[in-house]
Amino acid sequence: MGLVLMEAGGQNCPTQTAQVTGYANGDRSTLAGLNGVTIDANQSLRLSNRAGNFSAPGSPFDLTSPHWVTFAAADFDLDGRADLVLGGRGSNWAAGGTTNLALRMSTSTAGGFSFNPLAYVNYTSSFDSYEYRVLGAGDYDGDGDADIAAVTWAGRLLVFTNSGVYPYFVTDPVVVDTVRTGVGSETTPGAQLGESNIASVDVDGDGDLDLIVGVPAAAGGAPRGQVAVYINDGSGLFSYLAPRRNYDPFATAALGVSGIAAADFDGDGDIDFYCGSPNSSTLEYYRNDGTGSFTNRANMAITLPAGRGSTAFLRAGDFNNDGLVDFIVGTDGAVNGPGGNVFFIKNNGGGTFAAPQQLPGMPLGNDLDAGAVGDFDGDSDPDILTASGINNPATCYMISNDGFPGAYVLTGTVYSTNLVGCVFLNSDMAVVSATLRVQETRDVRTSIVYYLSNTDDPNGAPLWEGPVTPGVPFIFQNPGDFLRWRAVLSTTDPTVTPAIAAVTIDYDYISKREYSRTSHAAISLDYDPARTGNEQVLYSASFEFPKWRGHLRSWDVTTLDLSPNRGSVLKNILAANALPIADAGAALAARAAASRVVYTAHDAQSDGLMNDRVDFRAGQASVLDKYLQLGIGSPEVPALIDFVLGIGQTGFDRPWKLGDINHSSPKGLLPPGETASMMGTGYDAFKLANANRQKLIFVGANDGMLHAFDAATLNEAWAFIPNNLLYKLKLMKVVDPVCGEYLYHHFFVDGTPAVRDVCFADGTWHTVLVTGQGAGWGKNHDWYYFALDVTDPVNPRPLWEFTDPFMGETWSIPAIVKITTPNKWVAMFGSGYDNDGDPSVNIGHYFYCLDVETGAVIRSFDIKENREPVSPYGIQNTLPGSPAVVDIDQDGFADAAYFGDLIGRLWTINLTADAATWAPAVIYRDPNNYPIITKPGVYVDVASSNKVHVYIGTGGDDRAPNNADYSFIALIDTLAGAVVEWFMGPDALVTQLGISAQTKKGFFVPGERIWADPVIANRNVFIATLEGNIESLNPCNSTSGSGKIYVRYLLGNQVGGTALLSQAGRPLEYLVTEQKVRSAVTLGDTQMVQTGNQSQYMRKVFIQSFTQPAGGGPEPPSQVLAQPVIQSGLIIKQWREIYKVYK
């Protein structure tokens, strides 16, 4: 293997190379799936022969009494043909060795259908049952043969285990649950209402079969028309997802749900389902959000033709052999009659279906009740059985699914297993690129399109990338632990097929590297008892890639080695002799997972509020199971809890527990330190009571948690998982059938917290934390903010969680302030990126003001204009940036809020009036619609009638042009309008904005963007810029480009001019950072630097670079800018949000 340097699309990561065989000589061991593809006599992969040629049913045959009302099909005797299990009703259910549950084993051939005589499942020694209404079949216990799931007349859901010796099923089935009630005893005949089926599918993606049960109704029974989902632990033990009956598509239907067809219908890697009822001619569609929660999507419902009946049974299968799951509907005559019809509904792919196609030959007027699909004749395609078990038990029809002689399917897909084993799962390496090499045969009428995958999607299915050109290196979007190939074969002439004889893959892989997209935190702290007074401690967050491990390091930066001169000094903190203190990631790795203190929230009062704290530990599984989407009482729940805490499947701790800290900047919890006269009554006492409370550092991580670390030791004090993320935690844990259990990366708590002291409605003071989750979607695939009361550092209390139908990704850092009317403390924030995957719904363009105590909405705003501009760069307008809120007149109440949007506008809201009258207004428009993601910097000039200065930068979006001329704008706002005071940017802005050329104070090179929030101190504004992109999920793709730091005067004759000085004391336009800078600089204290009789006070400003320029490390470089200042005698003891700046 040779070491090379990959440089493509900005990627700059050292790689190594290896090769694997993807397919050769008919070896099926490298193949995971063939859909519409088969292996021919030459050992080549080719298109399958076309199926879906349905023959008219032959003469009806009698399945004999009792009335068989529900069927399921599976190969119970493992002979390659589907067999039948029949459920029925009959008063003689226990006479003469008969029961109401029986098997008929297929002896069919291509020449016709035949079945062995009935073999009854003898359950009578265990319990009685007059009737079976619902059936399903599949290998539930993982022993290689098919078992039976059944729902009795009284609503008991049972599982009969296959003993492996036909026809002997266990006679004492497992009672899973009761899915309906109120129908009397098992042995009392009742109204002849309601049959259905059970779809046996892998809902949670863990490799075993779960159950989706269509619940039929009955006279006086409850519930009606519902669907229940049960999760398998892998051994055949099922637990229901809360609530017990999850979905009610036909809640008022007298006959309930009569059929379920389940498969990945929309192609997103997880199981969805259609369901029908005899009381409706509509098939309702429920889409899986990836966690096992299903949402009705009315736009994908399917309506049966008029006058052809309603759903009697609904079954899924690939009927035309093209690799896509279609379904069959048999109709009842309860509505839209007459019934007795059978429809084939073809899956066109991409979540679309062809119009229902009526199959010929069914006798007119029959009312169907039961049906099943399976390969009864062993010719590799599913056939159809229909029956009218209630009206005429002798009327059963078989519809043969035959091929089209000499015809191939038009499209088929083949895909491989993971070809690189487990080596990358258990190392710091990952696959980044591959070159596919194939031996194939095709002509102008055929085509083969190839794809590659090196990772899974969020649902655990391969994430395919491409198309891939054979022989040409292909670079993956992100490094991954797997390597698979996929080919889509197609033909325009059904008489010819392309073919693949062999596949090999050369691939490249990388080793780990660290990155940071966050700001530092800096606090004053007595971490070293051996020294007098407090030290200044700097905190730096980062993550390893490609393994997504998190780090939070601390450094003593009290006294740095800063050169004494007249100039600005930019120095790596290591070169300046910063002292390393601790790494939270390493400390947590060394700590036993069982000793961790982790909390979450639940609804103990059943009031709909997730504000009751509960320990997140296996001992609380009975409380947590309703949220974890594994089923109530499931034995998988304690195992998942342990996994999230860091305990692996072997019972030993995983080697690293702290997840990646990607966008969450650390935030300190300090003793209360604000001005009592501005805060309000009782604050002095609150300060005194909490003057010595423990100092913490809060940071979110993509391990599901907001972490609270002791500021001195970086030992984890506690962590908190918001309730909305409990639904998603199971996606972290993946069990590969070959490699076993591993951690899969998702975004969870990826937002930066805001912390402030506030007064609640009862007059008590509290310290609250409010944070978004960034890209970490939660329950129902929505995005959330949540709040904690952290007054007591070791006893946090959940307050609320908030989402909204228009909420996008929650990047905006809340501003926590007090407003006048109503007199409340509130949290203000924008929404965020529209990333819900539904282009028909626009979200992320709202601004919110919430009661910080309760989470109640005080105001929300749709941030748009009557004639909304459209970005020329394909950027949808959203509000991912943070608001700046200012108290202009120093009375303790917020007066104005400022925030930008991705269409290039700066908005303000005058907060001095009643909240009911607030109205957002635009005070600046970028003439090129360049995005504004920065939190505005705000400075109040008290010497000039409280004039408000506002500062913003443009270009903060990777979709904006890489060669554009972006700008930094300084405005003066009078709350009645704003004017440009000065700017840095292209000359064209002078004309475009109609301003004086004298307002231009500098420029940026093309493609130099402003992502970082401007920071104000000592009448200077600090501006960090970067070139290239920064937000690629694969940070290797963002390493190219450089970063710069600008410092500009805010006031005086030099306003807008540079405050940076060279070593000789001459002005410098900027300083170049070691690498690009994504987030705002962090203010430190001032330090006197003295040599001999010469002394100079320097403001320490800390800058976090993205990564080591040459890939070294381990940590990304932290630099300190030492900027000369006039010493005021003020020593900064702690840092908080600046709401007013004094002269």
Q: Where exactly does CATH 2.60.120 map onto the chain? A: 4-49+408-511
Q: How many CB atoms lie within 10 A of CB 623?
A: 15
pLDDT of 1132 > 60? The answer is no
- Say yes or no to pLDDT of 607 above 60: yes
Domain with CATH 2.130.10.130 in the chain: 53-402
Which of 165-179, 195-209, 694-708 reaches the highest mean pLDDT? 694-708
Are 128 and 186 spatial neighbours (Cβ–Cβ below 8 Å)?
yes
392, pLDDT greater than 70: no
Nearest CA among 738, 745, 755 for reference residue 696 = 755
**Amino acid 15: pLDDT:** 83
pLDDT of residue 59: 67
Residue 552 confidence (pLDDT):
98
Instruction: Give the pLDDT band (50/70/90) at residue 11.
Output: very low
Residue where the block lists tokens 């049952």: 129
- Of the candidates 286, 333, 282, 336, the one whose C-alpha atom is nearest the C-alpha of residue 312 is 333
* 1122 neighbors 569 (Cβ within 8 angstroms): yes
- Class at the top of the CATH hierarchy for domain 4-49+408-511: mainly beta
Contact between 690 and 791 under an 8 Å Cβ cutoff? The reply is yes
Percent of the chain with pLDDT over 70: 91
State yes or no: pLDDT of 180 exceeds 80: no
- Which segment of 184-198, 690-704, 711-725, 935-949 scores lowest on mean pLDDT? 184-198
Model pLDDT, residue 242: 77
Query: 591: pLDDT confidence band, cut at 50, 70 and 90?
Result: very high
Q: Is 313 left (phi over 0), alpha (psi -120 to 50) or beta?
A: beta
In tens, the pLDDT along 113-156 reads 888 888 888 777 677 676 788 999 999 999 999 999 998 877 88
Name the strand (E) or helix (H) holding 913: none
Q: What is the mean pLDDT of residues 56-71?
A: 71
Choice among 61-70, 558-567, 677-686, 834-843 with the minimum mean pLDDT: 61-70
pLDDT at 193: 57
Determine the CATH number of domain 521-1124. Answer: 2.130.10.10
Q: What is the residue-averaged pLDDT of the chain?
A: 89
Mean pLDDT comparison of 51-60, 372-381, 939-948, 1080-1089, highest-scoring range: 1080-1089
pLDDT digit string, tens, across residues 1076-1101:
999 999 999 989 887 667 778 889 99
Residues above pLDDT 90, as percent of the chain? 62
Residue 344 has pLDDT above 90, yes or no: yes
Structure-block tokens of residue 213: 């049960």
Which tokens hold the place of 780? Answer: 């129902």
Q: Residue 878: how many CA atoms within 13 Å on its side-chain side?
A: 23
Average pLDDT over residues 326-339: 89
Once rounded to an integer, what is the mean pLDDT over residues 176-182? 72
Q: Is the pLDDT of residue 58 over 80?
A: no
Q: What is the pLDDT of residue 260?
A: 95
Q: Is 96 exposed, middle or buried (CB count within 10 Å of its CB: 0-12, 13-18, 19+)? A: exposed
Residue 119 CA to residue 452 CA, distance in Å, equals 48
Instruction: Give residue 62's pLDDT band: very low, low, confident or very high (50, 70, 90).
Output: low
Eight-state DSSP code of residue 927: T
Q: Could you tell me which residue, 762 or 392, shows the higher pLDDT?
A: 762
- Taking residues 512-540, report their average pLDDT: 93
Q: How far is C-alpha 444 from the geometric centre of its chain's CA atoms?
A: 42
Q: Between 1055 and 332, where is the model more confident?
A: 1055
Residue 786 has pLDDT above 50, yes or no: yes
- pLDDT computed for residue 190 by the predictor: 56
Question: How confident is the model over 6-29, as a mean pLDDT?
Answer: 76
- pLDDT for 256 equals 84
| For range 1117-1143, the mean pLDDT | 59
Query: 531 vs 915, which has greater pLDDT?
Result: 915
* pLDDT tens per residue across span 367-377: 788 899 999 88
- E strand or H helix at 723: helix 723-726
What pLDDT sits at residue 356? 94
65-89: average pLDDT: 85
Lowest mean pLDDT among 69-78, 709-718, 1031-1040: 1031-1040
Rounded CA separation 1039/1109 (Å): 8
Confidence of residue 167 (pLDDT cuts 50, 70, 90): low
The pLDDT, as a whole number, for residue 5 is 29
Alpha carbon distance, N-terminus to C-terminus of the chain = 63
Q: How confident is the model at residue 1141 (pLDDT cuts 50, 70, 90)?
A: very low
- C-alpha separations of 355 from 250, 327, 360, 367 in Å: 22, 12, 16, 22
CATH for 53-402, among 2.130.10.130, 2.30.30.100, 3.20.20.140, 3.90.1150.10? 2.130.10.130
Task: Give me the pLDDT at residue 1092, please.
Answer: 66
Give ranges for CATH 2.130.10.10 in the chain.
521-1124
The 10s digit of each residue's pLDDT in 900-924 is 999 999 999 999 999 999 999 999 9
Of residues 533 and 576, the one with the higher pLDDT is 576
